[in-house]
Chains A and B, each alone.
Chain A
Amino acid sequence: MQARWAPIQRRDRDGVQAPMQDIRKALYVGSRSDGTLIERPMSPHLQVYRYRLSMVLSISNRITGVIATGGAALGVFWLGAAAKGPKAFNTARKVTGNPLGQLVLLGWLGSVVYHTVGGLRHLIWDAGYRYDKEELNKDGPVAVKVTAGVSAVLGIALLCVAGRRRHARAKAGKVS
């Protein structure tokens, strides 16, 4: 009971009461009927809500966006290695051919696929469709299945293509 309504004690490092400069925080200040200022209770956070798939899918769109950016950064380094020359590119290939590197690539692929599916849903919502509660709850599992399916197909196919080319090169006797 007490914790939420405790008066604000905001002090800086030297123990001096800090002035409120953050507008957002200033808006949390309210007053009791006796006139003393208090910090108003904030809206309840995540832990009080019942689990819904849509909340996971919502934050996942952001998380996969960040991961996709990281993957794009790696892709740029790969391209930079190709531009630099054969030696640098061979180093890059050691990373992309490594099982750990391929796990990272698959993570990038999955993130890009989910972010694309999530982005398509956002574009559909922006156009004014599929935004009712029932439709949202129906589409969520579909998005998960489409992501899993497309990621698996693309991932396996790409691994097969790369493996076949490596095999063909080994057969031709060239040092890869």
Chain B
Amino acid sequence: MNTSTPHIEVMRSQLGRARGLGAGQSGTAHWWAERASAASLLPLSTWFVVQMFRLGGADHAEVARWGAKPCNATMLAAVIITTFYHAQVGLQVIVDDYVHGKAHLPTRLAVKIITSLLGLLGVFAVIKLVAGGSSGK
């Protein structure tokens, strides 16, 4: 046993610090975002699985023709946006639960940035496919 003892800097109770500040504001928004995107993903991912049955083993020409159809592009973009939105919201809960202290904020930002970029990459791939462009590489 050493000489050091615990030391509390703020001489107010947690309740005293919270009192008068009002609610945390965001309320149940995060919870709802998670459930709403989850429910939306049920039909969207079903559509995606069905499409994978159409595309299993397909070559580039077949995939390009498939992706160029406006209906497919719309559904595909919806799948991508909803998937990465749901991933962002869900991963944030995991980070909030398991990452503490100094690492918390950077990890949370990293989750936001990476999921956003992946979603954007998917959306731009869809745009390129639907525009029929292929660099020939």
Q: A17-B7, A20-B9, A123-B38 are in contact. Are A162 and B83 (CB under 8 A)?
A: no
> In the complex, what distance in Å separates the CA atom of A99 from the CA atom of B114?
28
Contacts of B38 in A (CB 8 A): 119, 122-123
Q: Which of A48-56, A128-136, A137-145, A164-172 touches B? A: A164-172
Interface SS of A by simple majority: helix
B87 touches A22 (CB 8 A): no
Known: A8-B5, A159-B56. 19 other contacts (CB 8 A): A7-B5, A8-B4, A22-B100, A39-B6, A72-B84, A76-B80, A76-B118, A76-B121, A76-B122, A79-B125, A83-B129, A85-B137, A86-B61, A89-B60, A90-B60, A112-B45, A122-B35, A162-B56, A165-B58
* Interface check A6, CB cutoff 8 A: yes
Task: Count chain B CB atoms within 10 A of each CB in A76, A85, A120 and give the residue with the most.
Answer: A76
Sorting the interface of chain A by its residue count into under 10, 10 to 19, 20 to 34 or 35 or more gives 35 or more
A158 touches B5 (CB 8 A): no
Q: How far, in Å, is A120 (CB) from chain B's closest CB?
A: 8
Contacts of A89 in B (CB 8 A): 59-60, 63
Q: How far, in Å, is B67 (CB) from chain A's closest CB?
A: 6
Q: A76-B122, A119-B38 are in contact. Are A82 and B5 (CB under 8 A)?
A: no
Task: Count chain B CB atoms within 10 A of each CB in A8, A119, A123 and give the residue with the most.
Answer: A119
Question: Interface code B88-106, partner A: CB below 8 Å = 1, 0 otherwise?
Answer: 0011001000001100000
**CB within 8 A of A157: which of B39, B53, B118?**
B53
Q: A76-B80, A87-B137 are in contact. Are A161 and B6 (CB under 8 A)?
A: no
Q: Which residue of A lies closest to B126 (CB)?
A: A79
* Interface check B29, CB cutoff 8 A: no
Q: A10-B4, A116-B42 are in contact. Are A86 and B57 (CB under 8 A)?
A: no
> In the complex, what distance in Å separates the CA atom of A97 from the CA atom of B7?
60
A8 touches B6 (CB 8 A): yes
Tell me how many residues of B have a C-beta within 8 Å of chain A.
Answer: 53
**CB within 8 A of A154: which of B2, B49, B119, B134?**
B49
Q: How far, in Å, is B76 (CB) from chain A's closest CB?
A: 8
**CB within 8 A of B35: which of A8, A10, A123, A164?**
A123
Task: Count chain B CB atoms within 10 A of each CB in A20, A36, A83 and give the residue with the most.
Answer: A83
* Interface check B136, CB cutoff 8 A: yes
> In the complex, what distance in Å separates the CA atom of A88 from the CA atom of B52?
19
Q: Which residue of B lies closest to A15 (CB)?
A: B4
- Would you list the 10 A-B pairs with minimal beta carbon distance, nearest first? A162-B57, A165-B57, A162-B56, A161-B56, A83-B128, A83-B125, A76-B122, A37-B6, A89-B60, A86-B60
Contacts of A68 in B (CB 8 A): 87
Contacts of A163 in B (CB 8 A): 57
B101 touches A72 (CB 8 A): no
> In the complex, what distance in Å separates the CA atom of A82 from the CA atom of B52?
14
Contacts of A95 in B (CB 8 A): none
Q: Which residue of B lies closest to A11 (CB)?
A: B4
